[in-house]
Amino acid sequence: MRPLIAGNWKMNGRLPAAMKEFDRLLREAGRAAAKAKDAALPEILVCPPAVLLAPFRDAIAAADLGGVVALGGQDCHAAEAGAHTGDIAAEMLRDAGATHVIVGHSERRADHGEKNATVAAKLAAAHRAGLVPILCVGETLSQRDAGHAPTAVARQVRAALGAGCTAANTVIAYEPVWAIGTGRTPTPEDVAAMHLAIRRTVEKAVGAPRMRILYGGSVKPDNAATLLAVAGVNGALVGGASLLAKDFWGIAKASPKPR
Ligand SMILES: O=C(CO)COP(=O)(O)O
């Protein structure tokens, strides 16, 4: 399976600096693609703030990279259109050049009170629009300390996945809330155990044991090789370290060759 290295820019990226940094990433990707066969590279995805999708799409087209770098949204509304001030439909993300969309990120759950039912509706909306949802799940520190991490995460997975979710059209990102933006990461053993628990839950829920499961939370160039080599880890969802092309590419280079 080809690893997926996804960057979540969150609410970062002002023009013109964002454009410059993205162009740097495209140059790195272009150089690597010229050397390697496509299948030997990880899939690279950048999820910038929605207003940057169209300019980034145009930059990809100008770089003529043939799909080495793809784009995703960070959130979508469940409806296709309507009176939802400030929201963005999955179809609109697609129009702007996205192929993926993150749903259920812990920052959306915390800042916007998103519950599992809302996340499930957003995931279905992504499929309706032909986008691949990246479903984020993860336990809080108190859930981990209480020994409830596997059950808390299984509940989030079961609540969001539904009929029609396959390994080809859906990705899961395991992001322990306490590891996001903190510089702390679980041990490789803990990551392996959580990914296995999630994979079993996915298999029971929708029969798709080969669904990609990414790890997210303080992934940096210096810990990426260790985290990405963990059994059952199929890539990374990177926050802070995705903002600089040099760091993000360092992480992409650390991903194991596709097996
Ligand atoms: O939330 C994350 C990605 O979605 C992870 O963020 P950091 O890599 O900054 O910890």
Are the C-beta atoms of residues 77 and 89 closer than 8 Å to each other?
Answer: yes
* CATH class label, 4-10+20-25+43-76+87-253: alpha beta
The answer to the question of whether 8 is labelled as a binding residue is: yes
- Please work out, in degrees rounded to the nearest 5, the angle formed at the alpha carbon of residue 77 by the alpha carbons of 75 and 78: 125
CA 200 to chain centre: 20
What pLDDT is attached to residue 156? 98
Query: Where along the chain do its domains lie?
Result: 4-10+20-25+43-76+87-253
How crowded is residue 110: how many other Cβ atoms within 10 Å of its Cβ? 11
Cβ of 8 less than 6 Å from ligand 1: yes
Query: Which residues are tagged catalytic?
Result: 105, 175
Q: Give strand ranges (E) for 149-189.
A: 171-174
What are the two backbone dihedrals, phi and then psi, of residue 47, each rounded to the nearest 5 degrees? -115, 90
* Residue-by-residue pLDDT tens, the chain, 259 positions: 899 999 999 999 999 999 999 999 999 999 998 888 656 789 999 999 999 999 999 999 999 887 899 999 999 999 999 999 999 999 999 999 999 999 999 999 999 999 999 999 999 999 999 999 999 999 999 999 999 999 999 999 999 999 999 999 999 999 999 999 999 999 999 999 999 999 999 999 999 999 999 999 999 999 999 999 999 999 999 999 999 999 999 999 999 876 5
Are the C-beta atoms of residues 165 and 132 closer than 8 Å to each other?
Answer: no
Quick one: which of 46, 102, 98, 2 has its CA closest to 249?
Answer: 46
Q: Could you tell me the pTM of the whole model?
A: 0.97
Nearest atom within ligand 1 for CA of residue 173: 4
- C-alpha 242 – ligand 1 centre gap (Å): 9
How crowded is residue 216: how many other Cβ atoms within 10 Å of its Cβ? 26
The answer to the question of whether 240 is labelled as a binding residue is: yes
Cβ of 218 less than 6 Å from ligand 1: yes
Beta bridge partners of 133: 101
CA 136 to chain centre: 8
pLDDT, tens digit, 9 for 90 and up, residues 183-205 = 999 999 999 999 999 999 999 99
What pLDDT is attached to residue 39? 63
Percentage of the chain modeled with pLDDT above 70: 98
What pLDDT is attached to residue 37? 66
Q: Give strand ranges (E) for 150-209.
A: 171-174
Q: Give strand ranges (E) for 100-211.
A: 100-103, 132-137, 171-174
Nearest atom within ligand 1 for CA of residue 183: 10
Cβ of 46 less than 6 Å from ligand 1: no
The answer to the question of whether 169 is labelled as a binding residue is: no
Strands 100-103 and 171-174: unpaired
Joined together, the tokens standing for residue 155 give 């509940």
- C-alpha 183 – ligand 1 centre gap (Å): 10
Query: In Å, what is the CA distance from 200 to each residue of 127, 150, 221?
Result: 22, 11, 29
